[in-house]
């Protein structure tokens, strides 16, 4: 497995495959299976800011006693976090691969103090998944983006472990966002997260959740931006996420410059042990091409190194659709 070793967030991984945050990383049994199957690291199930706030809001407090309300709020937060800290400690006791907790948040509020407890519990790094949905038409794009910047600035003052920010696809300028995160000391970016998306049940005339699982076709949304971001003059690690259903899918992300590849949906379908198959697929391809390590080919097809960078640009779109039969 040495030929698959990579570095991500300053951590040594025996494989570029990381099991991303999900129910599959919510207990020790699954985490052990992931390591035994050859995963390079695990991102623990997310601690949700919404969950914490919901627990606080559902606890009845007698009116006129703000001290009691503050106490209950702090107690609830502490206990929610304690459960998560216990998972981190247990994972570190039982695993030899890096353990990366995850926080799913929507603000840069006081919850950032929790990050210190997470670091002290032994976390190797921290992944921040910001689920911010801009619904205020009076709020400008820079104002919305400031939430991300304020958040990482607070976190960098609080903890010393590496931080990766999991971004959504819909920014006016993704490369600018990544550059600004890098300037604020962020060590890694995960591209991209999967927000809740709605669908419609025509029989019930109701809004329902769209499929939460990715499909291979969704790689097209990620390949371009990994390829562009990895060609920038900044030293920030990139983890590709979405559309990874085989070792070949992972190889494609590595070829455009990803430092690691997060996998989830296919493990629900085929089981955690499928990581072994994916690693084997990558090794077979490397052997056939004479590659001794991932670094021998990583980024070979990114925007800077590829001999035809026009394929990443609008001009390729024009060439394809303006050509007559």
Q: DSSP code of 18?
A: E
Residues 6+ apart with CB under 8 A from 86: none
Asked if the model's pLDDT at residue 60 lies above 80, the reply is no
Question: Which is nearest to 53 in space by CA: 115, 128, 14, 109?
Answer: 109
This model's pTM is above 0.75:
yes
What is the average pLDDT across 89-100? Answer: 98
**Hey, how many other C-beta atoms are within 10 angstroms of the C-beta on 156?**
15
pLDDT of residue 54: 57
Q: pLDDT (tens digit, 9 = 90+) per residue, 196-215? A: 678 888 999 998 877 666 66
- State the Rg of the chain over Cα: 21
C-beta separation of 160 from 197 below 8 A: no
Which comes out higher in pLDDT, residue 113 or 300?
A: 300
Which domains are delineated in the chain?
2-322 (3.20.20.70)
pLDDT of residue 65: 45
Q: pLDDT (tens digit, 9 = 90+) per residue, 267-290? A: 999 999 999 999 999 999 999 999
Segment of 47-56, 72-81, 95-104, 137-146 carrying the highest mean pLDDT = 95-104
Question: DSSP labels for 79-143?
Answer: HHHHHHHHHHHHHHHH-SS-EEEEEEES--SGGGGHHHHHHHTT-S-EEEEE------TTS-HHH
């Amino acid at each position: 497995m040495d030929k698959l070793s990579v570095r991500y967030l300053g951590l040594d991984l025996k494989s570029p495959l990381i099991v991303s945050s999900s129910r599959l990383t919510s207990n020790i049994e699954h985490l052990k299976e992931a390591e035994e199957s050859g995963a390079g690291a695990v991102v623990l199930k997310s601690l949700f800011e919404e969950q914490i706030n919901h627990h606080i809001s559902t606890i009845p407090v007698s009116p006129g006693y703000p001290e009691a309300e503050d106490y209950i709020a702090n107690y609830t937060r502490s206990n929610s976090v304690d459960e998560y800290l216990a998972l981190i400690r247990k994972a570190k006791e039982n695993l030899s691969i890096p353990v990366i907790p995850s926080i799913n948040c929507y603000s840069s509020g006081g919850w950032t103090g929790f990050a210190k407890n997470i670091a002290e519990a032994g976390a190797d790094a921290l992944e921040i998944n910001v689920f911010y949905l801009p619904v205020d038409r009076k709020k400008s794009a820079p104002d919305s983006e400031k939430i991300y910047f304020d958040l990482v600035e607070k976190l960098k003052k609080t903890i010393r472990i590496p931080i990766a920010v999991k971004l959504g696809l819909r920014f006016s300028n993704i490369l600018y966002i990544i550059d600004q995160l890098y300037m604020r000391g962020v060590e890694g970016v995960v591209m991209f997260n999967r927000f809740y998306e709605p669908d419609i049940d025509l029989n019930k005339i109701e809004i329902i959740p769209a499929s939460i699982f990715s499909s291979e076709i969704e790689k097209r949304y990620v390949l371009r931006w990994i390829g562009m971001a990895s060609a920038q003059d900044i030293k920030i690690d990139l983890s590709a996420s979405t559309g990874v259903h085989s070792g070949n899918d992972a190889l494609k992300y590595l070829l455009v410059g990803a430092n690691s590849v997060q996998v989830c949906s296919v493990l629900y379908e085929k089981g955690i042990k499928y990581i072994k198959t994916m690693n084997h697929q990558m090794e077979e391809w490397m052997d056939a091409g004479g590659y001794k390590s991932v670094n021998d080919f990583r980024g070979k097809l990114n925007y800077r190194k590829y001999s035809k960078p026009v394929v990443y640009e609008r001009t390729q779109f024009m060439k394809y659709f303006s050509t007559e039969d």
